[in-house]
């Protein structure tokens, strides 16, 4: 990437984050899209755009953005954790359990430098079976069980 493209990417990236922090989510999404046109391979930008899309209540688009981030960076546990949470929200319980198992595996392997809220479960000593039981209990009490 040229120096000018790097500068433009940085401008859009910073603007997007600033706008998101200010609650100007539509504008933030526009800036994230501009940044991703310059660096479509930037996993963190795709992930952060997913967060904005989630806040805009565009769940499917958010899920796609998180998945794109994970495709770009397979060890990116924040994206995987967000995918898992979105799948639960959308009552996609089997994929959510698969994502949770993968997340546990990544954390335990030490193969990822990324930090995730799920690390707290691993640090607390919960086993994979216990986490899956938590997921099932969550599902049984959720709106998914009432559909």
pLDDT of 120: 43
Classify burial at 58, counting beta carbons within 10 Å of its beta carbon; exposed 0-12, middle 13-18, buried 19 or more.
middle
Domains in the chain: boundaries: 3-146
Task: Give long-range contacts, CB 8 A cutoff, 24+ apart: 89-94.
Answer: 89/59, 90/59, 90/60, 90/63, 91/142, 91/143, 91/144, 91/147, 93/135, 93/139, 93/144
Contact 86, 136 (CB under 8 A): no
pTM of the predicted model as reported, rounded to 2 decimal places = 0.75
pLDDT digits (tens, 9 = 90+) for 88-146: 878 888 887 888 788 777 767 766 555 554 554 454 455 555 556 555 555 554 455 55
pLDDT of 97: 82
Share of the chain above pLDDT 90, in %: 44
Instruction: For the domain made up of 3-146, give the CATH fold.
Output: 1.25.40
- Average pLDDT (30-51) is 95
For the chain, give the DSSP string. --HHHHHHHHHHHHHHHHHHHTT-HHHHHHHHHHHHHH-TT-HHHHHHHHHHHHHTT-HHHHHHHHHHHHHH-TT-HHHHHHHHHHHHHTT-HHHHHHHHHHHHHHHHHT------TTHHHHHTT--HHHHHHHHHHHHHHSGGGG-
- Average pLDDT (46-51) is 95
């Amino acid at each position: 990437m040229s120096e000018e493209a790097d500068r433009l990417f940085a401008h859009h990236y910073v603007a997007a984050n600033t706008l998101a922090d200010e609650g100007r989510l539509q504008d933030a999404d526009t800036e994230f899209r501009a940044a991703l046109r310059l660096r479509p391979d930037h996993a963190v930008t795709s992930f952060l755009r997913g967060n904005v899309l989630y806040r805009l209540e565009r769940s499917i688009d958010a899920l796609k953005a998180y998945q794109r981030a994970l495709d770009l960076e397979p060890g990116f546990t924040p994206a995987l954790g967000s995918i898992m949470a979105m799948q639960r929200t959308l009552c996609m319980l089997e994929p959510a359990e698969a994502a949770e198992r993968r997340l546990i595996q990544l954390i335990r392997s030490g193969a990822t430098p990324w930090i995730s809220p799920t690390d707290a479960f691993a640090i607390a000593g919960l086993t994979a079976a216990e986490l899956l039981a938590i997921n099932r209990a969550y599902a049984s009490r959720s709106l998914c069980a009432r559909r």
